Structure formats: C-alpha cells, structure tokens
C-alpha cells in the first residue's frame, strides 16, 4: 500500500539523485582541463602502442625504457613542428597580415573594387550585382584572425599542458597492464571476459584509426603544399598546414579549406591585375585543391574510416551526418571513434541482437 511516507521518501530520493548528479556534472566541468589532458593522453597512448610494441618486441626494451623511447619520439615530433613553424611565422609575420582585422578589411575592399572593374569591363552592372549580393555586410572580416587566433590559442594552451599530457601518456604506456588489473577489480566476474575482449578490440581499432588519420593528414598536407608551391602562393607551408588541419572535420573541413585557400590566394596577389593574375591563379588553386580532395575522398578516407574501424563507407557517412546534426562540428570529429566503441561493446555484451550482428559482422 502506497502511503504519504512512501511518496515523500521517493520524492526525497529523486531530489537527492538530481542534486548529486548536478554536483558530479559541476565537478567534471571544473576539472574539464584535466579531462582534456586525459583524453589527449589516451589518444597518444593508442597512437604510441605500435611504437611501444616495436621497442619491446624487436629491440627487447623493458616497459620503462620502451615507454620513455615512445614519449621521446612524440617530443621530437612536437619539437620538429615548433622548429618548422615558429621561425617561419616570425620571419614572415609582417607579410602575413592575417591577424590584423583592419588590414584584412582593407584588402577585401580592394579585392571587391577589382572585381567591380572586372565585371564592368565585361558589360555587367557591377553596382547592381554587388548591391544584390550585399557582400560587404555579409562578410565577417574577423573570421580569419579569429580562426587563426583560436588555433594559436589552442596551441598555446596545449603548450601549457604539454608536460602534463606527456607525463600522463608515459604512465598510460608503462602501467597499462596495472590500470587494466585495477579496472578488472571494479567489474563483476560475470562480465570480466567481455570487458577485456572489448578493451583489446577497441584499443586495436582506435590505434589503427588515429595512426591512419595522422597519415591521411600528412598526405593531404603534402599535396596541398605542392599545389600552392606550383602556383607560387606566399606562405604556402602555413596555408597548407592550416587547410590540412581542417580536414579533421569530415566532409565540411575540405570545403572550408578550399574557401580559405581561395581567399588567401586572392589576398596574396593584391596589386596584380584581377583578370589576368588573381582570378586565374585562384581558379587553378581551387582546381588543385579539389583534385587533392578527390584523391583523399576516394583513396585515403575509405581506407581509414572503413578499413581501420571495420565499417562500410555509407555507414560511416550516415554516422557522421547524424552526429553533425546532433552536436555540430565536434560531434562530426568524435563520431567515428565513439561509434566504433559502441559497436565493440554491443558485440561483446549483446551478441544475439540482430541489428548488432548486422553492424558488427566485420569486427
């Protein structure tokens, strides 16, 4: 029989649950930086696992020295990027007026003026076209500096926590068996084998995925760089790097990279004739970028997003599309790793489900 006391106790328990949940979420929010370091360290651990195994199995290093050697390789790669980009940015800082909003607005105004002259020379009413397009009011001139400042800010923030990330990564690599044993103690014996199988499979798939993703970005960076160098675009190295980083965002990233490359190409040729210099060069750069994206979409991405995580390309496309609608760009970036984790867990814990059997037949 339900009494007023039972109802009041139920309400109190529900209220207490809400309060505790809120406090836990607030706590996680307060330590979000630490959680970010942990996630980055986990990714580096997955990327470094094959390197660690090489040092242990081929060179017969013990866990400590193999972990030190793996982290040292990460440090050398990071130092290589710093040595490559910092002097370049410092020496060409004045040429790169990308962080100066007023300068960008002035340059784009000059570019619009040249477009107007070009349209008038071809008997097109430029005033009417530009008025209907209302370009000047629609362009957010702070986009490029804000974008670059956010990247530089992210790099700066990462630099502050770099020591923490590498320190955590070292122990993840060295004591991964110890951590696994600790996790086993928290799991009921009936689910222990399923958990271990899931962990090994997730670790294997995501290691392949992140290594493949890095390889893909490196290939795209080289191809972008070749295109920009062929057409003599200033600061080709930095532009190619920025556009390659944008490829982390599936499908939308390459489109943004093309727009960014076209705009920077136009701005870098200001003062030249629009019809004979700026327009053809921009057009050729766009064609080059589209060819790179065609190569990437038909060769690199199917291999990485399909083979490395054992999923069909259409399946991956739909997952990324749904994640984009639900969580925006961040959702698109984490969609494939998260979907892979859910598939592996589903196969281990719900193997009889027909939908899960269909989705995990290749795992």
279 within a domain of the structure (yes/no):
yes
| Residue 214 token pair | 């890095």
Specify burial of residue 148 (Cβ count, 10 A radius: 0-12, 13-18, 19+). middle
Residue range 182-220, pLDDT digits in tens? 777 777 777 777 777 887 788 788 888 888 888 888 889
| pLDDT band of 224, cuts 50, 70, 90 | very high
Segment of 118-122, 136-140, 162-166, 254-258 carrying the highest mean pLDDT? 254-258
Mean pLDDT computed over every residue of the chain: 77
Which residues, in sequence order, are CB contacts of 239 under 8 Å at separation 6+? 224, 228, 233, 260, 261, 264
CA–CA distance, 139 with 162 (Å, rounded to integer): 36
CA–CA distance, 277 with 288 (Å, rounded to integer): 16
4 within a domain of the structure (yes/no):
no
pLDDT, residue 213, reads 83
Q: Does residue 92 have a pLDDT over 80?
A: no
What is the percent of the chain where pLDDT is above 70? 75
Q: How far is CA 263 from CA 144, 199, 257, 279, 282, in A?
A: 10, 45, 10, 11, 8
Q: How many residues does the chain have?
A: 363
pLDDT, residue 91, reads 47
In order, the DSSP letters of 237-275 are: HHHHHHHHHHTTSTTHHHHHHHHHHHHHHHHHTBTB-II
Q: Does residue 118 have a pLDDT over 90?
A: no
Domains in the chain: how many in total? 1
Segment of 115-129, 131-145, 329-343 carrying the highest mean pLDDT? 329-343
Residue range 257-304, pLDDT digits in tens? 888 888 888 877 766 776 777 788 888 999 999 999 888 877 777 666
Q: Does residue 135 have a pLDDT over 60?
A: no
pLDDT, residue 3, reads 66
111 within a domain of the structure (yes/no):
no
Nearest to 265 by CA among 226, 233, 301, 295: 233
Mean pLDDT of 112-137: 63
Segment of 35-39, 85-89, 153-157, 280-284 carrying the highest mean pLDDT? 280-284
Q: Does residue 96 have a pLDDT over 50?
A: no
Residue range 18-69, pLDDT digits in tens? 898 888 888 888 887 787 788 888 888 888 888 888 898 888 888 889 999 9
pLDDT, residue 288, reads 92
| Residue 16 token pair | 């207490």
251 within a domain of the structure (yes/no):
yes
The pTM score is 0.67
Nearest to 44 by CA among 168, 133, 129: 168
Which residues, in sequence order, are CB contacts of 124 under 8 Å at separation 6+? none
121 within a domain of the structure (yes/no):
no
| Residue 294 token pair | 């065609």
pLDDT, residue 151, reads 54
40 within a domain of the structure (yes/no):
no
- What residues make up the domain containing 194? 188-362
Secondary structure of residue 1 in the 3-state scheme:
coil
| pLDDT band of 104, cuts 50, 70, 90 | low
180 within a domain of the structure (yes/no):
no
95 within a domain of the structure (yes/no):
no
Whether 200 and 177 have beta carbons less than 8 Å apart is answered as no
Measure the CA angle with vertex 213, ends 217 and 38; round to 5°: 115
């Amino acid at each position: 029989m339900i009494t007023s006391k039972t109802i009041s106790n139920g309400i109190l328990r529900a209220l207490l649950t809400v309060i505790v949940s809120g406090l836990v979420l607030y706590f996680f929010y307060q330590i979000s930086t630490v959680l970010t370091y942990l996630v980055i360290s986990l990714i580096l651990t997955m990327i470094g696992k094959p390197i660690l195994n090489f040092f242990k199995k081929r060179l017969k290093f013990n866990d400590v020295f193999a972990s030190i050697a793996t982290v040292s390789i990460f440090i050398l790669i990071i130092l290589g990027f710093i040595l490559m980009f910092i002097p370049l940015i410092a020496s060409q800082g004045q040429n790169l007026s990308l962080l100066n909003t007023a300068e960008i607005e002035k340059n784009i105004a000059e570019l619009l003026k040249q477009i107007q002259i070009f349209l008038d020379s071809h008997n097109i009413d430029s005033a009417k076209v530009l008025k209907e397009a209302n370009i000047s009011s629609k362009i957010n001139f702070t986009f490029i500096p804000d974008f670059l400042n956010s990247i530089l800010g992210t790099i700066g923030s990462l630099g502050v926590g770099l020591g923490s990330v590498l320190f955590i990564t070292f122990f993840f690599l060295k004591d991964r068996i110890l951590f696994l044993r600790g996790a086993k103690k928290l799991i009921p014996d009936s689910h222990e084998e399923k958990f271990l199988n899931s962990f090994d499979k997730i670790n294997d798939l995501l290691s392949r995925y992140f290594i493949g993703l890095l390889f893909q970005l490196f290939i795209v960076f080289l191809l972008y760089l070749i295109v920009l160098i062929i057409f003599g675009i200033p600061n080709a190295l930095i532009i190619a790097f920025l556009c390659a980083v944008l490829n982390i965002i599936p499908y939308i990233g390459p489109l943004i990279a093309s727009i960014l490359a076209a705009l920077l190409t136009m701005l870098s040729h200001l003062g030249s004739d629009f019809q004979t210099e700026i327009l053809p060069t921009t057009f050729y750069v766009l064609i080059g970028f589209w060819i790179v994206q065609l190569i990437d979409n038909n060769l690199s991405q199917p291999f990485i997003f399909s083979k490395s995580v054992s999923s069909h390309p259409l399946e991956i496309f739909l997952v990324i599309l749904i994640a984009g609608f639900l969580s925006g760009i961040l959702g698109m970036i984490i969609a494939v790793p998260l979907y892979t984790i859910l598939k592996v867990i589903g196969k281990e814990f719900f193997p009889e489900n027909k939908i899960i059997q269909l989705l995990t037949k290749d795992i």
